[in-house]
Amino acid sequence: MGTVTKALQLLTFFSRAQPLIGLSDMARLSGMNKATVHRMLGELQAAGFVEQVGTGRHYRLGPVYMRLAALREHAVPLRDVVGAVLQSLCDETQETAHFSLLQGTQLVATAHAYSPHHGTRVTMEDAQILTLHGTSSGLAVLAYARADFVHAVLEAPLPARTQHTITNPKELRAKLAQVHQNGIAESISGFEEDVHSHAAPIFDAHGQPFGAIAVAAPVARMDQRLRQNVRRATLAAGMHLTRLLGGFPPDTYPTPLNPTEIHG
Amino acid sequence: MGTVTKALQLLTFFSRAQPLIGLSDMARLSGMNKATVHRMLGELQAAGFVEQVGTGRHYRLGPVYMRLAALREHAVPLRDVVGAVLQSLCDETQETAHFSLLQGTQLVATAHAYSPHHGTRVTMEDAQILTLHGTSSGLAVLAYARADFVHAVLEAPLPARTQHTITNPKELRAKLAQVHQNGIAESISGFEEDVHSHAAPIFDAHGQPFGAIAVAAPVARMDQRLRQNVRRATLAAGMHLTRLLGGFPPDTYPTPLNPTEIHG
DNA sequence: TTGAGTTGGTTCATTATTTGAACCGATGGT
DNA sequence: ACCATCGGTTCAAATAATGAACCAACTCAA
């Protein structure tokens, strides 16, 4: 492993739970010698990637990221990042993948990717508005949204798009609890007939959900094998996208490391 | 110079104007051997700090910055604090307010607020780099910076962005003395034509300036009444922000309690 | 078509940097 | 007063960085 890689690795140990790290801790975390870590932190500090707080004692992430993040966003806008993730999720599941963004109290599907693998596929309208209670994407967002937001949504009239749409607030709250536990939402024909979809929430820098990434397949094609694959891939894609966009899942969010533990 | 520093230096060559850089270009820009640059870019890429677009050909900034910027923000919530102060300064003066941060020897405009009150207004680019000698923000920082820092800046080439830019070191030192006495810097068309700006320095816990808060208005709109209001408000906002961020002005800094005593 | 001048990328002997055990003085808790 | 740990430093030994020369692929002009 090169020196640069080792130095950059140090930056990965900072987290929301551990924003300040001391020299010795950093040496332990990285498994490197204290003198080595000291020199590396010195170089990172000189470049502004890390800074010391107070009189030595602790290091934290430096001020350069504002600028670099702004430049990155300018070079690669959000839609490009989302598009790439959608494409790979689509390739992986060979079903329609789409991304939706919460705008006020409306969930808007802003991007999608189709798989050429099957003759039949779920199709999306551009800028289609998804109901929060009737789609997997909506349920994924609701399951992690603030209580007052959920309350407002469930108190409002809940239109049934199909005869399978759940419109009973009590029933919906039970479902949201289940989604919250699994980290992924599932909806069978709740929005369009014969569409079976899964969705994972996307979180912002404050751990609040602001959108969802989803995979939608025809009900007829959804067997146990495909379902497992879709759930695993969607959960992973959601986590990945959250991280790419600089967001953080809340502490309660289930890790996708053990997808077999997820119950349906 | 350490290897890590050299590698990180590569990142500074990316800019809004040049978001994509090839291997050979990067070698030229950095003055390092092509093989060295190649290996460094490889390591930066593996860590996500840089990524290749298409089939080789070009490199651009990688996806890690969104996440790191969010973590930085979480650890040091500058943005929120600065944003609020900018907004109220903007409301008070009804002109564009902006905040810049000293990163090494570069002053970077990291946040701004626009007033909807006038049809014409001064606009800002994200992550715009401000010259230290040609902007009010830069002069505000320089006026309180360490002597060796000022020396280094004034010895380096001083580009003239406009025909009004002061580039004579002697003249600049005289101006800095005046800024130091008033606690506020003023620049008329020194960076952009027809922009009249005022700036106050922001100090850290050691009494060192690390940024500035400024108000920029079209030259045509700057009359005596607006100027007085801007000076008073900018000075107050600077003091306020310094305090909010846990900093202290040096003992020589003029108190804003008697704004009528300030000479221009 | 050819050839000169690019490009990104690779090789490997030479060189210079990185490494880490041992060592500071300072700090903090018992 | 003690002991553990802190951040930071030293220097011989070990290791990784370096760069001139070299590809193959591509672009452009003659």
Among candidates A219, A224, A111, A134, which has minimal Cα distance to A185? A134
Rounded mean pLDDT of A31-50? 93
B263: confidence class by pLDDT, cuts 50, 70, 90: very low
Among A9, A11, A39, whose Cβ lies nearest the Cβ of B68?
A11
Rounded alpha-carbon distances, angstroms, from residue B254 to B89, B97, B141, B187: 20, 22, 15, 19
Strand C at less than 7 A from CB of B45: no
How many structural domains are present in chain A?
2
User: A45 to chain B: nearest residue by CA?
Assistant: B5
Strand D at less than 7 A from CB of B8: no
**Count of pairs with CB atoms under 8 A, one residue in A, one in B:** 134
Are A72 and B79 an interchain contact pair (Cβ–Cβ within 8 Å)? no
Are B61 and A46 an interchain contact pair (Cβ–Cβ within 8 Å)? no
Cα–chain center distance at B221: 24
Domain that holds residue A137: 76-261
- Judgement on whether residues A95 and A184 belong to the same structural domain of the protein: yes
Strand D at less than 7 A from CB of B39: yes
Strand C at less than 7 A from CB of B119: no
Would you say residue B71 lies in a domain? no
Among candidates A198, A58, A233, A71, which has minimal Cα distance to B49? A71
DSSP string, A135-188: SHHHHHHHHHS-HHHHHHHHHS----SSTT----HHHHHHHHHHHHHHT-EEEE
Which chain B residues have a beta carbon less than 8 Å from that of A72? 61-63, 65-66
- Residue-wise pLDDT for B164-205, tens only, equals 999 999 999 999 999 999 999 999 999 999 999 999 999 986
- Residue-wise pLDDT for A125-150, tens only, equals 877 889 999 999 999 999 999 998 99
Shortest Cα–Cα distance, A66 to chain B (Å):
6
Average pLDDT, whole number, for chain A?
Answer: 90
Residues of B with CB under 8 A from a CB of A: 2-5, 7-9, 11, 14-16, 19-20, 39-40, 43-44, 46-47, 49, 60-63, 65-76, 78-79, 101, 103-104, 108, 110, 126-127
CB-based contacts of B127, cutoff 8 Å, min separation 6: A66, A67, A70, A71, A74, B16, B108, B109, B110
Strand stretches in chain A, DSSP E: 50-53, 58-61, 96-103, 106-113, 128-130, 185-188, 195-203, 209-218
Q: Indicate the DSSP class of residue B119.
A: S
- Judgement on whether residues B41 and B115 belong to the same structural domain of the protein: no
Whole-number pLDDT of residue A263: 40
CATH code at position A97: 3.30.450.40
- Residue-wise pLDDT for B12-45, tens only, equals 999 878 999 999 999 999 999 999 999 999 999 9
- Judgement on whether residues A20 and A95 belong to the same structural domain of the protein: no
Contact by Cβ (8 Å): B133, B141: no
Whether the per-residue pLDDT at A90 is higher than 90: the answer is yes
- Judgement on whether residues B21 and B85 belong to the same structural domain of the protein: no
Whole-number pLDDT of residue A262: 37
- Judgement on whether residues B56 and B165 belong to the same structural domain of the protein: no
- Judgement on whether residues A56 and A82 belong to the same structural domain of the protein: no
CATH code at position B24: 1.10.10.10
The encoded tokens of residue B185 equal 């810097």
- Judgement on whether residues A23 and A142 belong to the same structural domain of the protein: no
Strand C at less than 7 A from CB of B35: yes
- Judgement on whether residues B138 and B183 belong to the same structural domain of the protein: yes
As a rounded value in angstroms, the CA-to-C1' distance for B53 and C8 is 13
By the 10 Å C-beta count (0-12 exposed, 13-18 middle, 19+ buried), B147 is classed as: exposed
- Judgement on whether residues A23 and A86 belong to the same structural domain of the protein: no
Cα–chain center distance at A187: 18
- Judgement on whether residues B130 and B252 belong to the same structural domain of the protein: yes
